[in-house]
Amino acid sequence: MNPPIRDAHKKDIAHALHPYTNLAIHEEQGPLVITRGEGVYVWDDEGNRYLEGLAGLWCVSLGFSEARLAQAAAEQFAALPYSHTFAHRSTEPVIALSEKLIEIAPAPMTRAFFLNSGSEAIDAMIRFTWYYNNGRGLPEKKKIISRKRGYHGVTVAGGSLTAIPLMQNDFDLPLERMIHTDPAGYYRYGLTGESEEDFASRLADNLEQLILKEGPGTVAAFVAEPVMGAGGVMLPPATYFEKIQAVLDKYDVLMVADEVICGFGRTGNMWGSQTYGIRPDMVTCAKQLSSGYLPISALMISDKIYDVLKEQSRKHGAFGMGYTYGGHPVSCAVALETLKIYEERDIVGHVRKVAPHFQRRLTELGSSILVGEARGVGLIGALELVMNKSTGEQYSPETKAGAALSARALARGLIVRALPGDVIGICPPLIITKAQIDELFDSLAHAISETEDQLRRAA
């Protein structure tokens, strides 16, 4: 029997619409109301403490109580709470943050364009790509390729690239011009006896065949996360991006690195592109750009794209797009302070120091009969749950094995997330210590054991 629902929870049920939530079940069980945070922990309205094992939504890199970010926001609010960047206007935070991002970009970039979310950055990337090819006299070169199970946001355009059924079913997505190729998950999609390198070769060949089928003159860009995050934390197989990049270069297709989850130290380098040897023409980033403290994202573009955009703006009289809150001075000030903290505290160095322990503890959980594969890099990881460990056979969707495990973890004071395909995503704040890593995986190990028993009884 469920406990009685408190007044605040009743108001939430009555008035708030929650994303990525079963709305019918929510009316029965109500919300988990988080009231405060400190370091890698958060507390609910009943005083229960949780280790935030997903850093909010892959974003709170510096934990939930970084005073310097609060101070940066307060100071900027006091000095200038709002301005925009339309029609030649700018602010000091926009200028400083633009300079810093271009300085640390994973490949030579020339300009940064600010927005409010990763979804908006992807949406802008699509518009930039179309504008770019129109400016080059290539009006048919407009199709964007993403990967099945890739996650690229929830706008109508970005949601068309997010090739996960839940995010497209009955939303009338994808739109035309948005096409999809193979996911880069070797465990789930590799053939029996196929090496990682052979798998990568097959995927690169499939991409080339897709481009040829669609017509090289119609394909404009390929967008990929260095590590596929919300689609299941799938790491690229050995030689994958090297082979993919060769295909893109051959057919004049832009490489777009979606660094929204991987950027700013998550994989053990400042960018996932550096970890996997990606040479992007455009880069999207968000989330850890401000440690999630305020909404902000950026799209960085290379010289060859900027030069065409400049001539297009000359032709039309202005570059005809922008966002009211893009480049918000307070968000930019917080993002700039976040980047300063990364440097001063050597956050990337810290990730490299504790990541081997994180990955060891993650790998240990792969021995469970419930876990088909434990995989990860840096401070991001996943457990793929299976019904049959030897064959990799998955549970039926009705079993909700991933949801069962995440619920067991929550009851033990650990927040992780069940992703599509019964994958458990793990992505703690970058400031996590070795002792806290042990706490995380000790709790998760107990939750796995309890879930094994639960599923065994239900069988």
Domain range summary for the chain, segments of one domain joined by +? 32-65+346-458, 68-344
Tell me how far the alpha carbon of residue 323 is from its chain's centroid.
22
Spatial CB neighbours of 58, under 8 Å, sequence gap ≥ 6: 229, 230, 260, 261, 266, 287, 288, 380, 425, 427
d(CA 401, CA 422): 6
d(CA 216, CA 362): 42
* Amino acid identity at 262: C
d(CA 120, CA 323): 9
pLDDT at 3 over 80: no
pLDDT of residue 8: 87
User: At the topology level of CATH, where does 32-65+346-458 sit?
Assistant: Aspartate Aminotransferase, domain 1 (3.90.1150)
Q: Coil, strand, or helix at residue 100?
A: helix
pLDDT of residue 457: 85
Q: Rounded mean pLDDT of 110-128?
A: 98
pLDDT digits (tens, 9 = 90+) for 287-343: 999 999 999 999 999 999 999 999 999 999 999 999 999 999 999 999 999 999 999
Q: Rounded mean pLDDT of 9-22?
A: 94
Binned at pLDDT 50, 70 and 90, residue 1 comes out as very low
pLDDT digits (tens, 9 = 90+) for 49-70: 999 999 999 999 999 999 999 9
Q: Rounded mean pLDDT of 70-86?
A: 98
* 22: nearest Cα among 198, 193, 221, 166: 166
Q: Rounded mean pLDDT of 166-184?
A: 95
The percent of residues above 90 in pLDDT, for the chain, comes to: 97
Joined together, the tokens standing for residue 292 give: 């999630």
pLDDT of residue 7: 84
pLDDT at 23 over 50: yes
For residues 110 and 299, the answer to whether their CB atoms sit within 8 Å is no
pLDDT at 87 over 60: yes
Q: Coil, strand, or helix at residue 110?
A: coil
Q: Which residue has the tokens 């004049």?
A: 252
pLDDT of residue 45: 95
pLDDT at 350 over 90: yes
pLDDT digits (tens, 9 = 90+) for 376-388: 999 999 999 999 9
Question: Residue 193 burial by CB count (10 A; 0-12/13-18/19+): exposed, middle or buried?
Answer: exposed
| Span between the terminal Cα atoms of the chain, in Å | 23
DSSP 220: E
Q: Are strands 41-44 and 254-258 parallel, antiparallel or unpaired?
A: unpaired
Query: What DSSP string runs through 52-87?
Result: ETTHHHHT-TT-S--HHHHHHHHHHHHH-S----ST
Q: Which CATH architecture has domain 68-344?
A: 3-Layer(aba) Sandwich (3.40)
State the CB neighbour count (10 A cutoff) for residue 142: 17
pLDDT of residue 148: 97
pLDDT digits (tens, 9 = 90+) for 183-214: 999 999 999 999 999 999 999 999 999 999 99
pLDDT of residue 54: 98
pLDDT of residue 5: 63
pLDDT digits (tens, 9 = 90+) for 143-156: 999 999 999 999 99
pLDDT at 100 over 80: yes
For residues 322 and 400, the answer to whether their CB atoms sit within 8 Å is no
Find residue 274's DSSP bridge partners: none
Q: How far is CA 438 from CA 362, 370, 407, 410, in A?
A: 10, 20, 19, 16
* Amino acid identity at 425: G
pLDDT digits (tens, 9 = 90+) for 416-452: 999 999 999 999 999 999 999 999 999 999 999 999 9
pLDDT at 390 over 70: yes
pLDDT of residue 13: 94
Mean predicted lDDT score pLDDT of the chain: 96
d(CA 47, CA 192): 50
pTM across the whole model: 0.95
Does residue 216 have a cis bond before it (omega within 30 degrees)?
no
Question: Residue 273 burial by CB count (10 A; 0-12/13-18/19+): exposed, middle or buried?
Answer: buried
pLDDT at 4 over 80: no
